[in-house]
Structure 1
Amino acid sequence: MLAIRLVTGPERPDTLVLPVRPEGPDPSAALVPTASPPADDVRAEATALLPVARLTGDAGEVREHLRPGGTPSRLVLLGVGAGDEQGWRSAGAALARAAKDETHITVALPADAAAALRGLVEGLLLGSYRFRLTEAGGAPALAEVDVVVPDPDALTPILETARTTAELTRLARDLTNTPSSVKNPEWFAGQVAAAATGHPDLHLRVRGPEELAAEGFGGILAVGGGSASGPRLVELDWRPADARTHVVLVGKGITFDTGGISIKPVPAMKLMRKDMAGAAAVVAATLGAAALRLPVRVTTLAPLAENMVSGSAFRPGDIVRHYGGLTSESTNSDAEGRLVLADAMAYAVRELKPDLLVDLATLTGANAVALGKRHAALYSENDQLAADLLAAIDAAGERAWRMPLATDYVEYLGSELADLHSSPARGAGSVVAALFLREFTGDLRDHWVHLDMSAPSWSDDADAELAKGATGWGVRGLLRWLATLG
Structure 2
Amino acid sequence: MRSFAIRSVPGDPGDGTLVLPVGAGGDLAARAPQDVLAEAAELLRDADDPGRPGAVQVLPRPLRTPARVLLAGVGAGDAAGWRAAGAAITAAARAGEALRVAAHDLHPDGVRAFAEAAWLAGYAFRAPGDADDPAQPYGDDTNPAEILLVGAPEAGLAEARATAAATALARDWVNMPSSVKNPEWLAGRFAAEAAGRPGLTARVLAGDELAGFGGILAVGGGSVSPPRLVELSWSPANATTHVVLVGKGITFDTGGISIKPVAAMTLMRKDMGGAAAVAAATLAAADLRLPVRVTTLLPLAENAVSGAAMRPGDVITHFDGTTSESTNTDAEGRLVLADALGYAAARLDPDVIVDLATLTGANAVALGKRTAALYSQDDELAAALEGAAAAAGEQVWRMPLPEDYVPYLRSDIADRFSAPAQGAGSVVAALYLREFVGDTAQWAHLDMSAPSWADAADGELTKGATGWGVRTLVRWLSAIA
Q: TM-score higher than 0.5 here?
A: yes
Query: Which consecutive unaligned segments of at least 5 residues does structure 1 have?
Result: 24-28
SS at match of 1:451: strand
1:102 is displaced (CA, Å) by 4.2
1:258 is displaced (CA, Å) by 0.1
1:14 is displaced (CA, Å) by 2.4
Is 1:113 paired with 2:111?
A: no
SS at match of 2:63: coil
Match of 2:178 among 177, 180, 183: 180
Q: Is the 8 A contact 2:125 2:138 kept in 1?
A: no
Q: 2:131 is matched with which residue?
A: none
TM-score, normalised to structure 2, is: 0.96
Question: How far apart, in 2, do the equivalents of 1:344 and 1:394 lie?
Answer: 28
The C-alpha deviation readout for 1:452-471, integer Å capped at 9, x for no partner, is 11111111111111111111
Match of 1:80 among 66, 74, 84: 74
Is 1:10 paired with 2:12?
A: yes
Question: How far apart, in 2, do the equivalents of 1:251 and 1:100 lie?
Answer: 38
TM-score, normalised to structure 1, is: 0.95
1:12 is displaced (CA, Å) by 4.3
Q: 2:243 is matched with which residue?
A: 247
Q: Is the 8 A contact 1:113 1:149 kept in 2?
A: no
Q: 1:484 is matched with which residue?
A: 479
114-123 vs 168-177, which moves further: 114-123
Match of 1:41 among 28, 35, 38: 35
1:195 is displaced (CA, Å) by 1.4
SS at match of 1:334: coil
The C-alpha deviation readout for 1:320-346, integer Å capped at 9, x for no partner, is 000021110012100000000000000
The aligned runs of 1:417-428 (5 Å cut-off) are: 417-428=413-424
336-345 vs 4-13, which moves further: 4-13
Q: 1:32 is matched with which residue?
A: 29
1:141 is displaced (CA, Å) by 4.5
Runs of 4+ in 1 over 4 A off after TM superposition: none
Q: 2:134 is matched with which residue?
A: none
Is 1:409 paired with 2:405?
A: yes
Question: How far apart, in 2, do the equivalents of 1:483 and 1:457 lie?
Answer: 22
Q: 2:271 is matched with which residue?
A: 275
1:55 is displaced (CA, Å) by 4.7
Question: How far apart, in 1, do the equivalents of 2:346 and 2:422 lie?
Answer: 31
SS at match of 1:77: strand
Q: 1:209 is matched with which residue?
A: 207
Alignment length (residue pairs)? 471
Question: How far apart, in 2, do the equivalents of 1:411 and 1:440 lie?
Answer: 16
The aligned runs of 1:25-174 (5 Å cut-off) are: 29-33=26-30, 37-133=31-127, 136-150=138-152, 155-174=153-172
Q: 1:310 is matched with which residue?
A: 306
Compared CA separation, residues 212 and 386, structure 1 to 2 (3 A): same
Q: Is the 8 A contact 2:362 2:424 kept in 1?
A: yes
Return the letter of the residue paired with 2:447. Answer: D
Is 1:442 paired with 2:422?
A: no
Q: 1:368 is matched with which residue?
A: 364
Q: Is the 8 A contact 2:108 2:155 kept in 1?
A: no
Identical counterparts, % of pairs: 62
The aligned runs of 1:247-266 (5 Å cut-off) are: 247-266=243-262
The aligned runs of 1:395-406 (5 Å cut-off) are: 395-406=391-402
Is 1:348 paired with 2:344?
A: yes
Q: 1:466 is matched with which residue?
A: 461
Is 1:301 paired with 2:297?
A: yes
1:407 is displaced (CA, Å) by 0.7
246-255 vs 141-150, which moves further: 141-150
Q: 2:195 is matched with which residue?
A: 197
Q: Is the 8 A contact 1:251 1:359 kept in 2?
A: yes
Question: How far apart, in 1, do the equivalents of 2:367 and 2:232 lie?
Answer: 31
Compared CA separation, residues 141 and 399, structure 1 to 2 (3 A): closer
Question: How far apart, in 1, do the equivalents of 2:303 and 2:143 lie?
Answer: 41
1:388 is displaced (CA, Å) by 1.0
Compared CA separation, residues 387 and 262, structure 1 to 2 (3 A): same
Q: 1:26 is matched with which residue?
A: none
Q: Is the 8 A contact 1:13 1:73 kept in 2?
A: no
